[in-house]
Amino acid sequence: MSSVNSSSTSRDRLAKQRGIPTKCDCGEAVSRFTSKTIKNLGRLFHCCPLGSQKDKTHLFKWTDKSVIEEIEDFQDLFDVLLVDISEFQKSVRAGEAMMKRPESRIEEIEDAIAHCEEKTSECIRELKSIKAFFVCCLMMVFMYHTYA
Ligand SMILES: [Zn+2]
């Protein structure tokens, strides 16, 4: 009785491999078969070629259960991917914001340079008028000293 329990435990452990099994614990590659029993006629299953009705230490697993596990695992993976995509989108948006910052700084600097150029030409104009005024004053002083 205890040997039956241990073999069924062993088979349970083998059946607990998630998804569609590829290898038995004995190292043999598992194959897919179609059940020919009346109870499960046409039902697909994976099993180790070394297994038998009596030797239950080798892998046996119904394919429909394996496929359901594959779908469940895929859903979990899909959820993880959705989280990854939303985090990636956040990173892209942050990157785009960082890329825009230097552009706005360049625009600010260009505006400042344009303002400086404007002020410089204004100063040059004032200097020219001061120079003209000074020359005019100099001429008046010269004429005053010459003709007075
Ligand atoms: Zn096996």
Residues 83 and 77: their CA atoms lie apart, in Å, by: 10
Instruction: Tell me, in angstroms, the distance from the centre of ligand 1 to residue 12's CA.
Output: 13
| 117: in domain | no
Instruction: Tell me, in angstroms, the distance from the centre of ligand 1 to residue 37's CA.
Output: 22
Q: Which residues, other chains included, contact 63 with Cβ-Cβ below 8 Å and sequence gap of 6+?
A: 20, 32, 43, 44, 45, 46
Count of structural domains, the chain: 1
- Residue 13's pLDDT band, with cuts at 50, 70 and 90, is low
| 114: in domain | no
Range of the domain at 50: 2-65
What are the tens digits of pLDDT across the range 22-42?
Answer: 999 999 999 999 999 999 999
| 93: in domain | no
Q: What is the mean pLDDT of the chain?
A: 85
pLDDT at 78: 92
Instruction: Tell me, in angstroms, the distance from the centre of ligand 1 to residue 54's CA.
Output: 13
Instruction: Tell me, in angstroms, the distance from the centre of ligand 1 to residue 71's CA.
Output: 25
Evaluate if residue 52 carries a pLDDT over 80.
no
Q: What's the average model confidence in pLDDT over 9-20?
A: 65
CA angle 97, 98, 100 (to 5 degrees): 65
Instruction: Tell me, in angstroms, the distance from the centre of ligand 1 to residue 25's CA.
Output: 6
Find the range with the poorest average confidence among 6-20, 50-64, 134-148.
6-20
What are the tens digits of pLDDT across the range 62-88?
Answer: 999 999 999 999 999 999 999 999 999
Evaluate if residue 141 carries a pLDDT over 50.
yes
Instruction: Tell me, in angstroms, the distance from the centre of ligand 1 to residue 6's CA.
Output: 16
Instruction: Tell me, in angstroms, the distance from the centre of ligand 1 to residue 77's CA.
Output: 29
pLDDT at 81: 93
What are the tens digits of pLDDT across the range 107-131?
Answer: 889 999 999 999 999 999 999 988 8
